[in-house]
Amino acid sequence: MEDYIQYEASDGVATITLNRPDRRNAQNQEFLEQLNAAWERAAADDTARVILLRANGPHFSAGHDITPRAPGDTGPTIMETIPETGLLGLYQWEAKHYLGFSRRWRDIPKPSIAAVQGACIAGGLLLAWPCDLIVAADNARFSDPVVLMGIGGVEYHGHTWELGARKAKELLFTAKPIDAVEAERRGMVNRVVPVAELDAASRTLAIEIAQMHPHALAMAKRAVNQTLDIMGQHTALQACFDIHQLGHASAYAQSGQFVLTGLKGMKAKIA
Ligand code: ZN
């Protein structure tokens, strides 16, 4: 089994590292299940008061692994792992591995910080957005270009909450990335640091927060998340997940595939 995810805990901080740098931390089923296991380990780890999610390599995550199997890669691709039960199977698989995992990480009652460098594309947002804080390297760029595949946005619709309505629409309509400075201006990231300082800056922030009373931190986090949910975030995420599935259904009706082939353009943007 590939070691896609690393876990380490010290100084009150559980550090979860995405460790598939040769594939830009693209996510297959094994990757996501290892990542979820690491989050659950951090949630249960009494020595860990803060969870820091970081990535090995130049890019945080290129998103879901929808490419054909690479030579020497034993892990299944996303499309290979979808059960042969058609659209309902796809719905159930994505409800668990995408919306479900991201929601679970969002609600773990410990503060979490994502440290993001390089590309954070589409499914990459599903790893960063559920974190409470985001520290971005100055070379970070965030995008969701799935309109190029006939889909209206990734499975976890954080866009409008994170960026506001107009910028969310621009991000989706143009398929172009926003950079770290713009993301900070919009409130999507907490701070921007030079890429060489990303690890030190995010760890320093994590250790600072780990000094606080854990129950107070949990309550502070719950207060903000409950406020968002009273504003409708929980049901909006579910509603937009269903809209996402309508995109898959539409693509399937047109082409017999769950996404349309705009894939070439998308891969060009990732490179
Ligand atoms: Zn999907």
Show Cβ contacts of residue 265 under 8 Å, excluding neighbours closer than 6 positions: 145, 148, 175
pLDDT value, residue 128: 98
Q: Quote the pLDDT of residue 135.
A: 98
CA of residue 253 to ligand 1 center, whole Å: 15
**How many domains in the chain?**
1
- Residues (pLDDT < 50) of the chain are 268, 270-271
46 CA distance to ligand 1 middle (Å) = 35
pLDDT digits (tens, 9 = 90+) for 228-260: 999 999 999 999 999 999 999 999 998 888 889
CA 90 to ligand 1 center in whole angstroms: 8
Quick one: pLDDT at residue 271?
41
DSSP β-ladder status, 141-143 and 178-179: antiparallel
The pLDDT of residue 167: 97
CATH number at residue 46: 3.90.226.10
* DSSP structure string for 123-183: GGHHHHTTSSEEEEETT-EEE--GGGGT-SS-SS--HHHHH-HHHHHHHHHH---EEHHHH
Per the structure, the complete domain to which residue 185 belongs is given by 5-270
Helix (H, G, I), strand (E, B) or coil at 183: helix
Amino acid at 241: F
Distance of CA 50 from the midpoint of ligand 1 (Å): 30
What is residue 39's predicted lDDT score, i.e. its pLDDT? 98
Give 123 Cα–ligand 1 centroid separation in angstroms.
9
Cα–ligand 1 centroid distance for 246 (angstroms): 10
Instruction: Determine the pLDDT at residue 210.
Output: 98
Predicted pLDDT of residue 233: 98
- How far apart are the CA of 116 and the centre of ligand 1, in A? 23
